[in-house]
Amino acid sequence: MNYFNVDAIIVYAFLLLILLLGLWAGKNVKTIKEYAIANRAYGTGILTITMLATFITGSQSIGYIGYIYDDGILPVIPIIFCRAIIGFLFIAHYISPKILYFEGCLTLAEVMGKLYGGMARTWIGFLGVLYCLAFVILQIIWMGYIGELINVPNQWGMLLGGAFLIIYSARGGMKSITITDILQFISITMLVTLAVNVLIHKIGGIDNIFNKVPTNTFKIFQNPNFKNYLVYCLWGAFPSYLVSFPFIQRMLMAKDKRQLAKSQYIGMSYLTIFYMSLTLIGLAAIALKTIGDVNMPKQGSRVFIYLVEAYFPVGIKGIISIGLLAAVMSTADSFLHSAGILIAYDVVQPLLAKKYEVNVLRTSQYATFFLGVISLGVALIYDILPRVQYGTMDLGKGINILRDFVAVVFTIPLLAGIMGLKTDAKSFFVSMIATFIAFFIGRLFLPDLWFMPMVIAVNSITFFATHYIQNKGFVTVKRGTVVLS
């Protein structure tokens, strides 16, 4: 097998450039604030780019094309309308104006500590590490399949890509990640642009794509999966991912609420165009199958990989591969970075501060490195192509269950606290325990479709009911005059 073909060399050069750029950007990091949020030094453009690069995962992009291939344009509703538009508008209108009341915080767990006390901070710090590592593992697995596009064995692809992102993420923190995100964002944009243009040229124009696609592809209400996607819309609009650990860090990087809101609006606009382009790729795959490509995979999650292998020439395939790799790495490094800071800053330091002086910066760097090695090891064990979205993947259910459980535990209490609900530790811990019980029972007795909506409902009801009973009504606070927690 030729490991040094033209496409492979393009990918190797990209990986080396990412590594050198990341190490250079992070060489002078001296404080935990610099390591965690880069001293809030970046403008709106860079803040938006690092947010978008983190948001766009490799599995999300390839998975979305697969869903278009399987179910027609129906996935547009939960992904573009609910997640990209409603989700970002909600953050811009309701979270951006108030997140800066927590100026000085470095992590989501620290924000939760201010709202619900030190014990909540430690719990969210620990659970957050598990949540972040689930994302890191899944992205590293995708590196293996991207490697196969350039004739590199699956495990070698994971080892090479995983090792590089671990090194620069651990060394330079947010400074390294932000500067590499810029290059990765450019690569992702190039990936989509090139892929759309190549496929349009292959079919003979956009008009031909729509003419060759069967009419039932465009059915929404008559689609047999319409009811399922209504439930998916609830999960798509639930903003757990948008307020998860690396995204709260990016919000805390903003200089003011106007800059943060502006980055959300720009991000929403970009993602709308981005997902519409991916929709076009999915429709092109359907058109190619209709006009006679008998080798087109039956499984939607494998369609984009097949398109790259079958329709993209040498050189272009390498550029597409670095775009896919960029989408994977820009998400993996952000979540790995968050995990390292959470364990050092929100778990180890609070627990040991009374007896020992903890060098939080150094501990975060070591923690990031070792958690990265653990994630890489787990990824090498689970050599299965994941279908991440909507909980339908094959990869050991435990990773998805763990991630979704943590997402439900922190989302409602975090949003309620940021938006001004009077907070106390009891409401948080009662809802967390109830969520755990609901997760256990729901996994045993409920179908996958209704499992997550039920768990979200249980968390919300127990959280707000506990608050209402304790305060004999719903009570809000005025920032600056009331001490939280």
Give pLDDT tens digits for 422-481. Answer: 988 999 999 999 999 998 888 778 887 788 889 999 999 999 999 999 998 888 887 654
Q: What is the pLDDT of residue 121?
A: 96
Distance CA 213, CA 222 (A): 17
6-408 CATH? 1.20.1730.10
Note the pLDDT tens digit of each residue in 206-229: 888 888 898 888 888 888 888 888
Regions in the chain scoring below 50 on pLDDT: 384-396, 481-485
Q: What is the pLDDT of residue 110?
A: 96
Q: What is the pLDDT of residue 440?
A: 84
Q: What is the pLDDT of residue 300?
A: 81
The ranges assigned to domains in the chain are: 6-408
b/e 42-74 (16+ beta carbons within 10 angstroms → b):
bebebbbbbbbbbbbbbbbbbbbbbbbbbbbbb
Residue with tokens 């020992």: 356
Distance CA 141, CA 138 (A): 5
Rg of the chain over all Cα atoms, to the nearest angstrom: 22
